[in-house]
Chains A and B, each alone.
Chain A
């Protein structure tokens, strides 16, 4: 079975400072991992995805994430936060090998960016 744990429900940073959103996963098979972002009253938008190629994945809006198998982690980072980054972020796992098509979501991390 697959699961995802987002270690922080809320993260607050100042504009211009680095962002770190933590995610640990559990998977019986080789997982695919994703980060999605949800702005208020909007649907979910894909930020980036890991699918067994390069372990450092670059996404949109300057975000990137590193897949660390030994730590079962897939933390999301950004060097410098912008006010528009304030949103809810979801770490997501998919087990391709099992043929299970649906995604398993973490509980989300709400990012606040202070001016």
Chain B
């Protein structure tokens, strides 16, 4: 266990559905991230939150909407997704400090869009 918990672990949704992914950490970290992991592609950074403020948004389609209500929780709201959005979505958190910014990852949510 890394201290980063993602729910649900698996999600199947239709293209017209609305769902949310949840991430939670109680490590005292001040930054949280969403990554997308597709088959045969490198991990793609989607969003970065630092101190609950979004500081990076890597050209992600608007059908993905992040929310960070506090430093311990991060959500990814999904609506009108496409089949190519099927992937493993990984949440991570870190403590920005001198000497490197290692991230701790959750186990991911396996999303299938049908």
Contacts and interface: CB of A to CB of B under 8 A. Distances in A.
Contacts of A49: 100, 102
A13 B29 CA distance: 38
A31 to B, nearest CB: 9
Contacts, number: 64
B100 A101 contact: no
A102 interface: yes
Interface string B55-96: 110000000000000000000000000000000001010101
Contacts of A103: 45, 101, 103
A101 B106 contact: no
Q: How large is the interface on A (under 10, 10 to 19, 20 to 34, 35 or more residues)?
A: 20 to 34
A7 interface: no
Given A43-B2, A43-B108, A44-B90, A96 B101 contact: yes
Interface of A: 32, 34, 36, 41-46, 49-53, 90, 94, 96, 101-108
12 contacts: A32-B100, A32-B101, A34-B102, A43-B2, A43-B105, A45-B105, A49-B100, A53-B99, A94-B100, A96-B98, A102-B56, A104-B45
